[in-house]
Amino acid sequence: MNRRDFHKLSFGAAAATMLPSANLFAEPANTVAANDGHKFSVMLWTMDRTLSFEQKLQRVAEAGYTGAEVGNEYEKWTPAEWKTALAAKDKYGITIDSAVPGRNALSDHSKRDALTEDIKKAIPGAKQLGCNQFIYTAYTRVPSQTPEQRRDAIVDTLKYAADLCAKDDIEIVLEPIDWLEYKQEAVPSVADAFEITRLVGNPKVKVLYDFYHEQKQAGNLIEKLTKNVDQVGLVHIADVPGRHEPGTGEVFYTNIYKELARLKYDRYICMEFTPSAGHEWVPTLRKAREEAIAAMKQA
């Protein structure tokens, strides 16, 4: 299950399965150095669901990426599936940079036991994958809470969650989800999320700045990035509308990439889009990465 399943969304037809090229990995191009010092990742839920984990990593690496993000599907893997997954991760040189432990209403303290269980279940597999970051959305609002009570409750929950993850050195990133996608979301904008993480005051609690969600919710993407980059632990990339590759919608990603470079952002840049009609996965992902690198060189 992935984080979009957590919000009960259904996604349309997946992109067609693509055969690997004959010269796949003939050159060790899948390195941070090949990406001009930047780290690029792909959220695996966006890929064709008929593909195995190994096949997804193969395509991610063929497109020149060094990272991949998962949900919590690894919690259900058999020993044989684990063996295959870890071998694929090593074979293709992929870092699992983030995972999604579960869906919890962070402002609802009555759900604390469920949160605890989700995190404790997620940690062993994350450690085996070498993953040191968990993605959380705040999920559903508690109707009786004032905005201030909601904020304070989420701050308290994130402090608690960070303490649970501390001994395993796992970071938490809070991801806002726009109200057009989920109208009951407790944290719909990065403006709210940045306030929350500053109040948490723990360097292991950051914000996932998803430009797709923020454009739908509030816009003004670059100013909020510039003023709060110290709180950003991860960025997600997709265009609006449609959640397709950059260049298909209204977000001018060239300027966003230039600002990320100017700010010396050194964490993962994760592609979380589905290719537009008629476009295949590997070339579309490769083009998105190359365009990002070219833009950042202009900074």
By annotation, the residues acting in catalysis are: 175, 272
Beta strand spans in the chain (E): 39-43, 67-69, 95-98, 133-136, 171-174, 205-210, 232-237, 268-271
Order of all β-strands in the sheet with 232-237: 95-98, 67-69, 39-43, 268-271, 232-237, 205-210, 171-174, 133-136
Could you tell me how far CA 294 lies from the centroid of its own chain?
22
Which of 274, 288, 268, 282 is CA-nearest to residue 96? 268
Grouping H, G, I as helix, E, B as strand and the rest as coil, residue 40 is strand
As a whole number of angstroms, the distance between CA 208 and CA 203 comes to 14
Which of 189, 184, 240, 187 is CA-nearest to residue 212? 240
